[in-house]
Amino acid sequence: MEYRSLGKTGLNVSVAGLGCGGNSRLGLGRGASFDDCVAVVRTAVDLGVNFLDTAEAYGTEEIVGAAARSYNRDRLVISTKAIFRGADDTAETVTRRVDAALQRLGLDYVDIFHFHAVNPATYEHHRDVLAPALIKLKEQGKVRHIGITETGPRDPEQKMLARAIEEAPWEVIMLAYSLMNQGARLNIFPTTRRREIGTLLMFVVRNIFSNAAYRRDVSAKLVEQGLLDASVLSDGDPLGFLVSEGGAESITDAAYRYARHEQGADVILFGTGNKDHVRANIDSILRPPLPPPVIERLHASFGHLTGVGLDLPGPVKGA
């Protein structure tokens, strides 16, 4: 495993981080038992992953907490999140939700607590009304660092994050980034690097990369809309060159490697409910960068797209 500093938090994190939500939710999404889900987390940790990201909305905090108790707490970096809807939420609401998260996790503190899926319209309320409560909880030692995550599908232009990364108190952000959703490369990462804000990348692999029929359908619609050149469909699969020319083992492998080696990317989050997939995902994240000509082609062909591949967890039509 490879490790790096997460912004200026002082946390040393694995470049591969286990995301405990998404379609899989560690296996809960397919009906796996509690113990089987715990085993997925432990498999990741035993392979060197020390960054575990969960959330109240995922329903996996108890699982993460149970797995964490098998290890020295100082070995792990645990991140959780909660959604606050708007004006009805107060500082007291934040304190209650953090305490409830700690109880579910069975921990005295979390390394990062994020406001989850913040919409641009409610950002100022989060910053001005809710964030002071997190600052107090940080002073109390219940929260070590303060984070904020975007609602990718509902804010594809990343308007909320563009504001947040210029302001206090955010130390860590979670954002959508992939080889077909590259906006952060020019609009977010230069600032996070300058201000030493830690970055956690989600939506790196979604259905558009793992489902060939869905990928062709989406690409065909983008061609019809004039957003992609028709030449991307000439070989059948618009991303097929990643394997044939880029030396990737699969398009999913290429997607992980593309994000992992982007300047400004700290932790690449992956999610699964399958222990075998844990190793495969980590292996991809740890492989070398894609060849420079392939990266240039990705930037030229897809760098202008906004919000492509940001499907929320759930079945894909035609899958």
Which residues form the catalytic set?
A: 58
Neighbours of 298 (CB within 10 A): 20
In whole angstroms, what is the distance from residue 91 CA to residue 133 CA? 5
In whole angstroms, what is the distance from residue 168 CA to residue 122 CA? 16
Is the separation of the CB atoms in 144 and 170 below 8 Å?
no
In whole angstroms, what is the distance from residue 215 CA to residue 212 CA? 5
DSSP 8-state assignment for residue 181: B
**Inter-CA distances, 306 with 125, 215, 228, 315, Å:** 26, 16, 12, 22
| 237: exposed, middle or buried (Cβ count in 10 Å: 0-12, 13-18, 19+) | middle
Is the separation of the CB atoms in 47 and 32 below 8 Å?
no
